[in-house]
């Protein structure tokens, strides 16, 4: 039985780009059927893609394959990688999309190979011509080494990681989700063992740190740890930004109690 494959892309739902990934997998093996994906990363937003890739990775069973494609540099000399990390296998352009997945995996479990571009690949759609076929081969049992040449670690995005000091953690809003929650680059691990005094952003702050959405007091934003372990700012109902919360990309500071 082949392994499940999930896609994380910025292809949207208006075109056939997303469905073409499934089709390209079926060209490798028409029996591949455990396929799922999300295609709603904002166009070209590699940092948001890195968050979403990680969020989905946490839900996957060991052995699954994640195919992440947010690829503004398609057709240029940017590299392409296949990675093993924490029991998961991933393929992606080498632009930082795997920043969290790589950094958060046990180093002993991590390997990376460079993927060659097939001679017949188009210049504009490596999702279909390179990444999905590589994912399908991994799902069908190919090893990382059969796909490419061992190399060093993939590109990491600095802005994916909050700056941690003794009195504060500073990050930014990397994703605003469908419910309007402002998800930040500040992670549970950045706060471990510390207590939050306040979360502040350019024109607002909250001192309410709650467990779930229904606990948010009326009329104000609150902070909580979301389902992927990142700090988010949420409003009681509807988008945080409409209740004074931070905008997409806004810097966010978490002041810590001594």
- Positions that interact with a copy of itself (CB under 8 A): 1, 3-4, 6-8, 11-20, 22-24, 26-27, 30-40, 43-44, 52, 55-56, 59-61, 63-64, 72-76, 122-125, 128, 175, 177-179, 211-215, 224, 226-227, 237-238
The residue assigned the tokens 């990382």 is 144
Print burial letters for 184-221: b (CB count within 10 Å at least 16), e (below 16): bbbbeebbeebebebbbbeebbbebbeeebeebeeeeb
Could you tell me the smallest distance in angstroms from the CB atom of residue 150 to a copy of itself? Answer: 27
Could you tell me the smallest distance in angstroms from the CB atom of residue 226 to a copy of itself? Answer: 6
Could you tell me the smallest distance in angstroms from the CB atom of residue 145 to a copy of itself? Answer: 23
Which of 113/183 has CB closer to a copy of itself?
183
Which of 123/163 has CB closer to a copy of itself?
123
Which of 32/233 has CB closer to a copy of itself?
32
Q: Which residues are 198's β-sheet partners?
A: 255
The residue assigned the tokens 């949420």 is 234
Q: Which residues are 256's β-sheet partners?
A: 196
Backbone torsion region of residue 64, taken as left when φ is above 0, otherwise alpha when ψ lies between -120 and 50, otherwise beta: beta
Could you tell me the smallest distance in angstroms from the CB atom of residue 9 to a copy of itself? Answer: 10
Which of 88/113 has CB closer to a copy of itself?
88
Q: Which residues are 171's β-sheet partners?
A: 252
């Amino acid at each position: 039985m082949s392994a499940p494959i999930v896609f994380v892309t910025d292809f949207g739902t208006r075109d056939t780009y997303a469905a073409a990934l499934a089709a390209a997998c079926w060209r490798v093996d028409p029996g591949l059927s455990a396929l799922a994906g999300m295609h709603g990363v904002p166009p070209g937003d590699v940092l948001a893609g890195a968050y979403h890739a990680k969020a989905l990775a946490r839900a996957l069973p060991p052995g699954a394959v994640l195919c992440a494609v947010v690829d503004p540099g398609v057709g240029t000399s940017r590299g392409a990688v296949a990675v093993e990390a924490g029991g998961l296998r991933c393929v992606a352009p080498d632009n930082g999309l795997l920043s969290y997945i790589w950094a958060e995996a046990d180093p002993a479990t991590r390997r990376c190979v460079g993927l060659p571009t097939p001679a017949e690949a188009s210049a504009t759609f490596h999702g279909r011509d390179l990444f999905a076929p590589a994912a399908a081969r991994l799902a069908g049992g190919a090893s990382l080494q059969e796909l490419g040449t061992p190399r060093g670690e993939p590109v990491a995005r600095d802005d994916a990681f909050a700056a941690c000091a003794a009195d504060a953690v500073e990050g930014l809003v990397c994703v605003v989700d469908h419910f309007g929650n402002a998800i930040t680059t500040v992670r549970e691990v950045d706060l471990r063992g510390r207590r939050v005094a306040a979360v502040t952003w350019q024109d607002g702050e909250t001192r309410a740190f709650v467990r779930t959405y229904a606990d948010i007091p009326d009329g104000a934003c609150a902070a909580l740890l979301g389902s992927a372990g990142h700090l988010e700012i949420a409003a009681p109902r509807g988008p945080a930004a409409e209740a004074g919360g931070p905008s997409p990309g806004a810097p966010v500071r978490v002041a810590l109690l001594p």
